Structure formats: structure tokens, C-alpha cells
Copies of this chain bind each other. A is one copy, B any other.
Amino acid sequence: MKNRRKFFKSVGLATATALVSGLHPKGSSAESKIKWKMVTSWPKNFPGLGAGAETLAAYINKLSGGSLVVKVYGANELVPPLGVFDFVSSGGAEMGHSGAYYWKGKTEAAQFFSSVPFGMTAQEMNSWLYYGDGIKLWEEVYSDFNLVPRPAGNTGVQMGGWFNKEINSTADLKGLKMRIPGLGGEVLAKAGGTPFTLAGAEIFTSLQTGVIDATEWVGPYNDRAFGLHKAAKYYYYPGWHEPGPSLECIINKDAYDQLSDQLKAIIDLACKAANIDMISDYMSKNYQALEYFKKENVQIKQFPKEVLIKLNKISDEILLELSQKNKLSKKVYDSYVNFLNRVRPWTLISEDGYLSSVK
């Protein structure tokens, strides 16, 4: 911690201390500006996710009238995609934009703050984060790493993925070679399949050459950009493994603590605005990509109910195992599962009660 602080102080936060009492007038002097770096896990301007990071930075700049200027770095510009957590933790950058499930190697509990199989939808997740214990617990989990977390986006329910084998029953999961990382992969393994973890760039060729039978990615908008419909026969829904992934903004705690209350509010509320923006953006782009796939005669299929029930049952077991890994995992699991079990009956009456009536 001592080294982190030392390093941090040497890389550009000296100006922050002058500003604890509030914003300076725009352009009053060069000294009044704080310059921050935001490292991200996405290629620069990557549709949806990278755009979300840019939006967030732009909001902070605008809200502060240029007093806090955040520069966004794409993956590999300063650190690799999965180096974001450590880099912000140590103060190499003051801010990061990523997904919490990438940090399960650091702390198992992190996964609940992005998405877990058969977990909450975006609206449920935001309700837990903002009006349940979500953010409080997330702060507790990340405090060991000198980080302050804020929800900063959501993709909405993703797609189940691209398949070259038809899934008609749970038997079809046996031996299925599928690119599906994280908890979703653990569920598939327990159902008899073989999960692969492949980087984005390797997916298309692996699917086309038959190294894998199937892959999940994100949803129509991102999947179209990858051309995955040219390498697979069937496009399955729903994305049971990622029903409402929340994206994160992480802030180095030393940097955050040195900000005025006003600049803290600016970051917090810029994240909130960016949160609703991302899913609104995704919806408007996903429907267009879906229309494109239909024109291209992509076969869009729903997983059979039997398969989803089986995967749901396994998911429950996997989450229970996760909760037993350590005390913090148990604490977060208890809060998450309790909220999900209580909010879901309302979601089914309201959101699903309505949508099922207009099908």
C-alpha cells in the first residue's frame, strides 16, 4: 500500500490537492485542471463497451467544465485488457473501465457484480446495486485492492451463442466444445461439455475450422462486427450465462479520496448516466443487427426448456460452491441470491407479465 501511494503521488495527482474546496472557473489557469487516465479492457472505440468508456469520460469532462479531464486508453495502449485492475489498483492510471468477472482470480466474490448464470437482469441488478446492498458490498470487496467501484454500463441480456450443432436436449450438451469462459463454462463442463477460453481474435477461425462447435460472444451488435454468422449455422437465445452483465468503472481510492465532494459526485453520477446510456445504445443497435441476421437467413433458435432447466439447476449448484470459497463470497452470495429471489416475482408480474401478453 505504501509503495502504491508513493507511485501514485508521483504520476500526476499533485494538482488535485489544490481543488478540494470545489471547482475552479473554466480555463482560469492550467493548475486548476486534473488530468486522469482511464485504462480499459476494450479495443479503442469498441462498439458498445468501448463507446461506453468514451461516453463516461466525456460526461466527466463536461460536468466538471474541464476541471477533471479523463483520457481513455484502449486495451494494450498502456496495459493489456486483463491488466486494468492491477494498474488502477497501483495508481498507474486513476481510473479503469472493465467487467468485474474478469477479476475472479483476485477475489471470487467479484463475479456477482458483473453477471452470473441465471442471475439478475439489468433492471434487477441496478435495483440491487443502487437500492439494495450491492454497491456497499462491492466497495467492501474492492477496498482490499485500493479501488472504488461504480456500475457504469450494462449490455442487457446477451445471446446464447453461435452453434454448428443443434441443441435439442440435454444429451446434445455432452461433448459440446464451446468457447464460454468463466462461470458459464463451469456450468457447461458439469453438463458434460468442454468449455474453451479463447481470445476474441481466435474465435472466428476456431469455429469455422471445427476446433469448437459453438461460441458465445455478446449479442447481435457485437456479434455482427465479428462476422460470426458466417462461421455457424444456428444463433441460440437466451444468454442464460449472462442475463444482464454490469460493466464497471474502477477508481484508484487514493485518487478518489483526494477529490472534492463535488468531483466525487461528478464521477458517481457520470457513471450512473453512462449506465443507462449503454443499455439504451445496445438496444438500438441490437435490434438493427438482428434485422440484418434475419435478412441473411440466420437460423435463430431458442434453447429447449429442458436444457435451460438443467443448466439453471447446475448454475445454482455452482453459485453455492462459489459462496463456500470464502467469507466474503458467502456474504455477497447471500445478499445477491436473497435480492434475486425476492425481486424476481415482481419482474415476472411486471416486465414479463406485460411482454408475455404481447407476443
The size class of the interface chain A forms with chain B is 35 or more
B-chain residues with CB within 8 Å of residue A286 when the two chains form the complex: 346, 350
Bound form: Cα–Cα A359–B238 in Å = 14
Report the minimal beta-carbon distance from A95 to chain B, rounded to whole angstroms. 17
Query: Which of A26, A65, A122, A283 counts the most chain B CB atoms within 10 A?
Result: A283
Question: Which residues of chain A (238-288) have a CB below 8 Å from chain B?
Answer: 238-240, 243, 260-262, 265-266, 269-270, 272-273, 275-277, 279-281, 283-288
Q: A63-B262, A123-B279, A279-B123 are in contact. Are A219 and B350 (CB under 8 A)?
A: yes
Which stretch from A5-13, A39-47, A74-82, A337-345 is at the chain B interface?
A337-345
Q: Does A225 contact B (CB under 8 A)?
A: no
> Does A297 reach chain B (CB closer than 8 Å)?
no
CA–CA, A25 to B276, complex, Å? 30
Residues of B with C-beta under 8 A to A25? 21-25
Question: Does residue A312 face the partner (Cβ distance < 8 Å to B)?
Answer: yes
Known contacts A350-B237, A355-B352; A65/B22 CB under 8 A: yes
Query: A202-242: which residues lie under 8 A (CB-CB) from chain B?
Result: 219-220, 237-240
Which among A125-133, A166-174, A180-188, A328-336 touches the partner chain?
A125-133
The interface residues of chain B lying within 8 Å CB-to-CB of A132 are: 284
Q: Given A265-B62, A272-B272, A352-B359, are A283 and B343 also a contact pair (CB < 8 Å)? A: yes
Cross-chain contact B280 with A131 (CB below 8 angstroms): yes
Residue A118 is within 8 A (CB to CB) of chain B in the complex: yes
Report which residue of A21, A63, A122, A359 has the largest number of chain B beta carbons within 10 angstroms of its beta carbon: A63
CB of A283 to closest CB in B, whole Å: 4
Query: B residues within 8 A CB of A347?
Result: 283, 355
- Is there contact, CB below 8 Å, between B121 and A122? no
Find out whether the CB atom of B127 lies under 8 angstroms from the CB atom of A280. yes
CA of A273 to CA of B126 in the docked complex: distance in angstroms? 12
Kindly list chain B residues whose C-beta atoms are within 8 Å of the C-beta of A237.
Answer: 349-350, 353
The 0/1 profile, CB within 8 Å of B marked 1, for residues 114-155 of chain A is 000010011110111111100000000000000000000000
Query: Closest B-chain residue to A25, C-beta based?
Result: B22
Q: What B residues does A121 contact at CB under 8 A? A: 351, 354-355
Cβ of A318 under 8 Å from chain B: no
In this assembly, does A291 line the interface, its C-beta being within 8 Å of a C-beta of chain B?
A: yes
A164 at the interface (CB under 8 A from B): no
Q: Please measure, in the bound complex, the distance between the C-alpha atom of A240 and the C-alpha atom of B335, giving whole angstroms.
A: 32
Interface segment among A102-110, A191-199, A302-310: the answer is A302-310
Whether a CB of chain B sits under 8 angstroms from the CB of A356 is yes
Which residue of the partner chain B has the closest CB to A122? B123
Please, how many angstroms separate the alpha-carbon atoms of A284 and B238 in the complex?
A: 25
Residue A29 at the chain B interface, CB threshold 8 Å: no
Judge whether A157 and B351 touch: CB under 8 Å.
Answer: yes
Q: Is A300 an interface residue (CB 8 A)?
A: yes
Q: Can you name 25 A-B residue pairings with CB atoms under 8 Å?
A: A23-B26, A23-B65, A24-B25, A25-B25, A62-B269, A121-B354, A121-B355, A123-B156, A123-B279, A126-B276, A130-B280, A131-B281, A158-B350, A159-B350, A237-B353, A238-B349, A239-B350, A243-B354, A269-B273, A272-B276, A273-B273, A288-B342, A302-B357, A303-B357, A344-B358
9 A-B pairs closest in CB distance: A22-B26, A65-B262, A272-B273, A131-B284, A127-B283, A238-B353, A157-B350, A238-B354, A287-B346
